[in-house]
Amino acid sequence: MKSSVNKAQVIKQSIDSKKNEIIHLLRVFVQAESTQGNERGAQSLVIETLQQMGLEVDVWEPDAKEITSHRYFASSRTEFRGSPNVVGVLKGTGGGRSIILNGHIDVVPAGDVTQWRDHPYSGVVKDGKMYGRGVTDMKGGNVALLLAIQAIQEANIALKGDVIFQSVIEEESGGTGTLAALLRGYKADAAIIPEPTNMKFFPKQQGSMWFKLHVKGLSAHGGTRYEGVSAIEKSMTVINHIKELEKIRNDSITDPLYQTIPIPIPINIGKIHGGDWPSSVPDLVTVEGRFGVSPEETIEEAKEEMKQWIRRLAEKDPWFEEFPVTLEWFGARWLPGSLDPNHSFMQLLGDKYKEVIGAPPVIEASPWGTDGGLLTEIGSIPTVVFGPGVTEKAHFPNEYIELEKVFSCAEVIAHTIIDWCGDEKG
Amino acid sequence: MKSSVNKAQVIKQSIDSKKNEIIHLLRVFVQAESTQGNERGAQSLVIETLQQMGLEVDVWEPDAKEITSHRYFASSRTEFRGSPNVVGVLKGTGGGRSIILNGHIDVVPAGDVTQWRDHPYSGVVKDGKMYGRGVTDMKGGNVALLLAIQAIQEANIALKGDVIFQSVIEEESGGTGTLAALLRGYKADAAIIPEPTNMKFFPKQQGSMWFKLHVKGLSAHGGTRYEGVSAIEKSMTVINHIKELEKIRNDSITDPLYQTIPIPIPINIGKIHGGDWPSSVPDLVTVEGRFGVSPEETIEEAKEEMKQWIRRLAEKDPWFEEFPVTLEWFGARWLPGSLDPNHSFMQLLGDKYKEVIGAPPVIEASPWGTDGGLLTEIGSIPTVVFGPGVTEKAHFPNEYIELEKVFSCAEVIAHTIIDWCGDEKG
């Protein structure tokens, strides 16, 4: 016990001594505005940091031809020149279990800049919180991973298993970065993704995919609108029909991890547009949305259920018999992910959480997809999403992270790595 | 009576002798694609024709400064260089009543060209019908007016009152051409507009105006959509609310002229767009539509009723108390027009119709606005809309007109002009 207590003290001291350095690192990460297509600057900072830490660094741009033909490829672009993936490996001495520490470097756009109190890429710190686009989703998590590794190095602990740190592109657009890392051969016995869970454990992640519906009408002059059929009115029937499906799908979910979540797997209607003249009856409306996929079903099963449901519109209104609504799946897609909450890696992470935080972790299913779906589905890697940021601020103005959570998260992860990979001297 | 019968024969013979010439004229009018901003070519043909007929020709471009500041100005543009109005006057000998013969030269765009069997500007004739964009709305009516004047000239009839032929721009965009003609001083004791009524008489015309609504929501990630408020869902409440207003307004209409019309003054929802990301809860939806205005009410009264009704959304859903829907009137607007069906000009036109066609005319209220609203509202000119084309084909692919209707219409109008303006020798 004495050696373990000492080790914990050393890790804690090491993290404490590095706080200012990590705050600085997080700020320059945030300032390196790494929206889709502009990841190179931030990745250069990651490379520099990994090299200073003495890790084996691997930098590559996903091969467009190979990646776009993969069945799980989904992105709004098909060319990745200038958008490198970065991996840093801390090689183990052998005989231990390996771990992937995965975080994405891409951030969503800042949106309406006038809604930000400070510049979206300021990285300004106030009352223990750092502000900026991407600070919670998920550069705060990324520096927590780096800090965990640095603390282990500082404590002179030689791990048996490999630690594979991944700074990937394209998570916000469907996971091409993590898919590329899997195709490059990076596998491990477990993985942590420190997306903003507010320190909760998410062993299961909701998948999601985008759909587009075309709803038809019949044009006429607005002054004799009764001679036409409004595609806007018909689209209201379609949207209500989809809300029914959402209810049916969610009523069937009994997993206790979803107990506190009002709608475990929502179907979100995100966009609508239709008609081209105020004085004409609109003959076409397009509806776009996000379809939540349960961790217990496949993408294919979810697609089939939606397809059958849309066909049933004709039961509500014979119009749809003659003019069926067309359903298209397009753009981004995040695979669902699932890990048995009783898996040994979850148990270990939970134990370390209790030791560091002094209370058991809250365990839930995530309301959004992460790259965890790809790691479990393609790599069969047990994956837990656990990070310091807060979901409510991701993708919104005045995004922030509480810095103390970054440090606590790093401490939990450092101890988890040591026990999972094995301490050569321990 | 004998002289009258002879006059009728002469007019009929004159029209018959000019059929081929008029078909040719209509074809070149149609071929001169005169969409908004491109009216000059077609107007040149009108000028040439009027000069050949020996009329006093007046050509001018509406003065941007003067016209745009007028309270009834409504257009999608504010500059009219290159878009001339044309007026041709057949001066009377004096002591008679004057008449305006008003037709617009502008046509709406052809739309999806693939839906046309022939080129939209072909002017091809098949089975007694000419096809092309603008042939029914309303170049067929325009040539009927020219033919009526030519027949009177051919019969060597000297009229006492002036005949003022107007080929105006911008009817499809809110009436700037007719407004400009009124401001230039053109007035008369009566007016005919041969818009496509399919030979019905429209002494009353529905006005209309465009509105735009902004419906607010609250953004959130689609995976936790219950944390947001969907502006698309709220817009469905707004659209249903407007349908209620449409019902209330139409239930109150008792005018027998609307007896056969399912919805006398429709409110048409023509366009919708909202949201900017399938995975986000949309926080703004914009709805655009056309608000029908009864001949018995003013534009201002109709606007006020809509404004009050939109305010009452808060009674249905407290959301609208905190985030009121904003209402904006924009773009095109057509004033309602109304003439007492017992007016002497209506009686005369009806008598002439019976003489030529052999049956009484069908009298209805028009389901759409015309420049008649401006002529009655600003010029206090008794106006009847009566023309040869068919409404159902206006603004649609494969627009056509039955050529025999053009000739019959010209005959009715020629006799009406003679009796209204007075025959110097008669």
pLDDT tens digit string along B181-201? 999 999 999 999 999 999 999
Catalytic residues of A: 106, 171
Residue B413 above 90 pLDDT?
Answer: yes
**Whole-number Å distance between alpha carbons of B143 and B194:** 10
User: Which portions of chain A are predicted below pLDDT 70?
Assistant: 1-5
Return left, alpha or beta for B216; rule: phi > 0 is left, psi -120 to 50 is alpha, else beta: beta
CB contact under 8 A, A208 and B226: no
What tens digit of pLDDT does each residue of B75-122 get? Answer: 889 999 999 999 999 999 999 999 999 999 999 888 778 889 999 999
Where exactly are the structural domains of chain B?
A: 2-205+336-421, 208-334
Predicted confidence (pLDDT) at residue B322 exceeds the cutoff of 50: yes
**Residue in A closest to B212 by C-alpha:** A278
What residues of B are in contact with residue A291 (Cβ under 8 Å)? none
Nearest to A166 by CA among A21, A412, A381, A366: A381
Which structure tokens are listed for B348? 């005369």
pLDDT at position B2, please? 46
pLDDT value at position B4?
63
Q: Give the chain A residue nearest B267 (alpha carbons).
A: A222
Chain-chain contact of A332 with B279 (C-beta, under 8 angstroms): yes
pLDDT tens column, B116-130: 999 999 999 999 999
Q: How many CB atoms lie within 10 A of CB B227?
A: 15
Q: Distance, in angstroms, between A148 CA and closest chain B CA?
A: 30
Question: Which pLDDT tens digit goes with each residue over B240-287?
Answer: 999 999 999 999 999 999 988 899 999 999 999 999 889 889 999 999
Residues of A in Cβ contact (< 8 Å) with B210: 278-279
Residues A135, B310: Cα–Cα separation, whole Å = 42
Q: Which residue of A has its CA nearest to B224?
A: A367
3-state secondary structure of B401: strand
- pLDDT for A2 equals 46
Burial class (CB in 10 A: 0-12, 13-18, 19+), B89: middle
Q: With contacts defined as CB-CB under 8 Å, which chain A residues touch B271?
A: 274-278, 282
The mean of the pLDDT values for chain B is 95
Spatial strand order of the sheet with B400-402 comes to: B125-126, B129-131, B400-402
Q: What is the ipTM of this complex?
A: 0.86
**With bands split at pLDDT 50, 70 and 90, how would you rate the model's confidence at B5?**
low
**d(C-alpha B188, C-alpha B178), whole Å:** 13
Confidence of residue B173 (pLDDT cuts 50, 70, 90): confident
Q: How far is residue B86 from each of residues B46, B83, B186, B409, measured CA to CA in Å?
A: 8, 10, 12, 22
Q: DSSP class of residue B113?
A: G
Work out the minimum CA distance from B70 to partner chain A, whole angstroms. Answer: 23
Phi then psi dihedrals of residue A90, to 5 deg: -100, 100
Q: Which residues pair with A366 in a beta bridge?
A: A205
Q: Which of B219, B224, B272 sits opposite A275 (nearest CB)?
A: B272
Catalytic residue among B39, B58, B137, B171: B171
Which residue of chain A comes nearest to B109, CA vs CA?
A: A277
Q: Do A262 and B392 touch (CB under 8 A)?
A: no
Taking a C-beta distance cutoff of 8 angstroms, is the pair B420, B229 a contact? no
To the query of whether residue B79 is one of the catalytic residues in this protein, the response is no
Q: Do B208 and A223 touch (CB under 8 A)?
A: yes
In percent, the amount of chain B with pLDDT more than 70 equals 99
Please answer yes or no on whether A224 and B282 come within 8 Å at the CB atom: no
- The CATH class of B208-334 is alpha beta
Q: Answer whether B268 sits within 8 Å of A223, measured CB to CB.
A: yes
- Give Rg (Cα) of chain B: 24
Given A272, A277, A289, which is nearest B273 (Cβ)?
A272
**Considering only CA atoms, which of B193, B178, B96, B202 is closest in space to residue B379?**
B178
Summarised one tens digit per residue, pLDDT across range B36-54 is 999 999 999 999 999 999 9
In DSSP terms, which residues pair with B273 in a beta bridge?
Answer: A273, B286
Partner residue opposite A276 with nearest CB, options B226, B271, B332 = B271
Q: Structurally, what CATH architecture does the domain formed by B2-205+336-421 represent?
A: 3-Layer(aba) Sandwich (3.40)
* Cα distances (angstroms) measured from residue A293 to each of A201, A305, A358: 19, 11, 34
Count how many pairs of residues, chain A against chain B, have C-beta atoms within 8 Å: 163
Shortest alpha-carbon distance between residue B398 and chain A (Å) = 14
Q: What is the per-residue pLDDT across A301-357, written as a single tens digit (0 to 9) for each? A: 999 999 999 999 999 999 999 999 999 999 888 999 999 999 999 999 999 999 999
CB contact under 8 A, A225 and B268: yes
Cα of B49 to nearest chain A Cα, Å? 32
Same fold? B2-205+336-421, B208-334: no
Distance, in Å, from the CA atom of B10 to the CA atom of B13, rounded to the nearest integer, reads 5
Burial class (CB in 10 A: 0-12, 13-18, 19+), A59: middle
- What residues form DSSP beta bridges with B215? B285
Provide the β-strand partners of residue A129: A126, A402
Q: Where are the beta strands (DSSP E) in B111-232?
A: 125-126, 129-131, 163-168, 191-193, 201-205, 207-216
CB A275 to CB B275 under 8 A?
A: no
Instruction: Check residue B358 and report its DSSP letter.
Output: S
Give tens-digit pLDDT for B361-412: 999 998 888 999 999 999 999 999 999 998 777 778 899 999 999 999 999 9
Decide if pLDDT at B30 tops 70: yes
DSSP tag of B320: H
Count the residues in chain A.
Answer: 426
Query: How far is residue B409's CA from residue B414's CA, in Å, rounded to a whole number?
Result: 9
> What is the pLDDT, as a whole number, of residue A6?
85
CA angle A133, A136, A142 (to 5 degrees): 110
What is the fold, at CATH topology level, of the domain defined by A208-333?
A: Alpha-Beta Plaits (3.30.70)
3-state secondary structure chain A: CHHHHHHHHHHHHHHHHCHHHHHHHHHHHHHCCCECCCCHHHHHHHHHHHHHCCCEEEEECCCHHHHHCCCCCCCCCCCCCCCCEEEEEECCCCCCCCEEEEEECCECCCCCHHHCCCCCCCCCEECCEEECCCHHHHHHHHHHHHHHHHHHHHCCCCECCCEEEEEECCHHHCCHHHHHHHHCCCCCCCEEECCCCCCCEEEEECEEEEEEEEEECECCEHHHHHHCECHHHHHHHHHHHHHHHHHHHHHCCCCHHHCCCCCCCCEEEEEEEECCCCCECCCEEEEEEEEEECCCCCHHHHHHHHHHHHHCHHHHCCHHHHCCCEEEEEEEEECCEECCCCCHHHHHHHHHHHHHHCCCCCEEEECCCCCHHHHHHCCCCCEEECCCCCHHHCCCCCCEEEHHHHHHHHHHHHHHHHHHHCECCC
Residues in chain A within 8 Å Cβ distance of B281: 268, 270
Pairwise CB contact (< 8 Å): A367 & B224: yes
* Bond prior to B138 in cis (omega within 30° of 0): yes
